[in-house]
């Protein structure tokens, strides 16, 4: 059940609803922050892979260093 529907259905007082609403927003912000960190790390790994490939590194070495899949690395080439 969606969180806001749950609030509307089961929480009857304003104080509790306010607390859970703030808590839900905090969880959403934390999830968005973590997703942003992951995207940034992924982008950094692609940048590193591209530079390694430009210097002549082989696909397996780039995979070891960046953790990217072999298919992802081949798509960079």
pLDDT at 1: 57
Domain that holds residue 71: 3-76
Both tokens of 7, joined, read: 């609030």
b/e per residue, 11-21, with b = 16+ CB within 10 A? eeeeeeeeebe
What is the value of pTM for the model shown?
Answer: 0.65
pLDDT at 62: 97
Domain count, the chain: 1
What is the per-residue pLDDT across 16-71, written as a single tens digit (0 to 9) for each? 778 878 888 999 999 999 999 999 999 999 999 999 999 999 999 999 999 999 99
pLDDT at 22: 87
């Amino acid at each position: 059940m969606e969180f806001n529907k749950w609030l509307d259905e089961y929480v009857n007082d304003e104080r509790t609803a306010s607390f859970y609403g703030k808590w839900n927003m905090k969880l959403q912000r934390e999830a968005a922050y973590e997703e942003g960190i992951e995207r940034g790390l992924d982008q950094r790994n692609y940048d590193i892979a591209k530079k390694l490939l430009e210097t002549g590194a082989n696909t397996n070495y780039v995979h070891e260093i960046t953790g990217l899949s072999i298919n992802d690395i081949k798509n960079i080439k």
